[in-house]
Structure 1
């Protein structure tokens, strides 16, 4: 049985990468830390590595409950330490009396440095404070290159992880049933709207799965997916619990509070 059949066709390259990571750890007995992964990628890594006896995996994103996390794939006997994840926390100093910084601006400026999204973790905003996590291997480069966000001149301070601002993403968990994992079906169940309305949102390009706009009503959702529909906020599929007596799928979903 092919491992690929459990996942989406477009995830094949990532699955190959995870298999290579697993083989590397098995053959070298050296732990491997990945880039920051989104929740769906985390789910894939856990699914593939989780069945192994000699190789283990744990996740950490710089703080409890981080959305984007680095995976540490390691030999069974390895003692995991937070240092293994090689995560830096930066605080942005900027003229907050005159400028308001928002998440898209911060992410856009980070991406303009020419680094992959996987080199950055969560971006945290609380009142006039802005922090973000980054991979340690690019921290010096970020410190040298990032001097503005939007039109604001900024400077960076590296902070201990213990000084992270207290921004926890809270999810209100509920259980629901769906006839299938089609995107239109799942969306209508989560937000209690008609299937016709959910199809309209999807067809108009107002729905994203894992930060990618999906315009296919029949797109199949899976565990770990983050769904966002304009005007409804974000939701995630926490787990798929199996079928009911009426042959419907029971899913546990979280809606961001």
Structure 2
């Protein structure tokens, strides 16, 4: 198994604390031969790295976060007994006819209770409600304590995973001269490549939730690109080329 120091070389400094926690969790499972779960929902760059590099026939590494195509997931190591992942799913329903609540409103209300962001998975707003997987140790607290979002009264209940709605994406195809980050950002944001470079340099672009200021970085199938003020996208596979040699690339935009 790779050393902690070798693993950390693959991450930015801002991810160091989380990566060390995940590595320790994995190390415990590996050395003791027991199933372990991370104590928080991991960002995509973290769970993707560990599932890709450590999953093997004799050592199972899985990531799960309730929703299809979700970003934040809990990592499980050596879960040979298929123990359920330690999260529960909460549905928060807006009971006000006069307030339209956004993702930011629901997330802010939960965190105002003192809940850390890492204890929450992806939060999805659908019509007049929000659905979010929550680490099991804090789920009851939210169920009993959350009664309003802003000035809007809400009801809170637990739902089962088989009742989850499908993820909402706007599917499309973009045409780019290369898979460089500046070309991808320019097309997704409908701006010039020069302007794309400016917002990349200013730190307003995230790749799998980590800041990236490398405009020449090649984007890969399955990576999440978040552009401040524009939206969040999942980059898909190359599906063809134009006569001029440009790439046709699938993408999904979260809506």
Question: Structure 1-normalised TM-score?
Answer: 0.75
Alignment of 1:204-223 (within 5 A): 206-211=204-209, 214=211, 216=213, 218=215, 220=217
- Tell me which of 231, 234, 240 is aligned to 2:232: 234
User: In angstroms, what is the RMSD of aligned CA positions?
Assistant: 3.4
Instruction: Report the CA distance shift for 1:14/1:204 in structure 2 as closer, same or farther (over 3 A).
Output: closer
The C-alpha deviation readout for 1:14-64, integer Å capped at 9, x for no partner, is 3322321221001222211222223222212213423x4532112222233
Length, aligned pairs only: 240
The whole-number CA distance in structure 2 between the counterparts of 1:147 and 1:251 is 47
**2:27 aligned residue:** 23
Are the equivalent residues in 2 in contact too, given 1:96–1:128 (CA < 8 A)?
no
The C-alpha deviation readout for 1:133-158, integer Å capped at 9, x for no partner, is 11111111112322221111223111
The C-alpha deviation readout for 1:191-214, integer Å capped at 9, x for no partner, is 5753212023335665344456x5
Q: Where does structure 1 lack aligned partners over 5 or more consecutive residues?
A: 241-249
The C-alpha deviation readout for 1:83-132, integer Å capped at 9, x for no partner, is x2122111223324222111010111112222221211122222223222
The whole-number CA distance in structure 2 between the counterparts of 1:42 and 1:175 is 29
Instruction: Report the CA distance shift for 1:47/1:17 in structure 2 as closer, same or farther (over 3 A).
Output: farther
**2:182 aligned residue:** 184
**1:36 aligned residue:** 41
Following TM superposition, by how much is the alpha carbon of 1:217 offset from its aligned partner in structure 2, in angstroms?
A: 5.2
Following TM superposition, by how much is the alpha carbon of 1:166 offset from its aligned partner in structure 2, in angstroms?
A: 3.4
- Identify the structure with the greater strand proportion: 1
Question: Structure 2-normalised TM-score?
Answer: 0.76
Secondary structure class of the residue paired with 2:122: strand
**2:162 aligned residue:** 162
Following TM superposition, by how much is the alpha carbon of 1:185 offset from its aligned partner in structure 2, in angstroms?
A: 4.8
The C-alpha deviation readout for 1:55-86, integer Å capped at 9, x for no partner, is 211222223333322222115xx1325xx212
Are the equivalent residues in 1 in contact too, given 2:69–2:167 (CA < 8 A)?
no
Q: Where does structure 2 lack aligned partners over 5 or more consecutive residues?
A: 239-246
Establish whether residue 7 from structure 1 lines up as the match of residue 11 from structure 2: yes
Instruction: Report the CA distance shift for 1:153/1:231 in structure 2 as closer, same or farther (over 3 A).
Output: closer
**1:85 aligned residue:** 85
Alignment of 1:90-105 (within 5 A): 90-105=90-105
The whole-number CA distance in structure 1 between the counterparts of 2:135 and 2:51 is 21
Instruction: Report the CA distance shift for 1:253/1:165 in structure 2 as closer, same or farther (over 3 A).
Output: closer
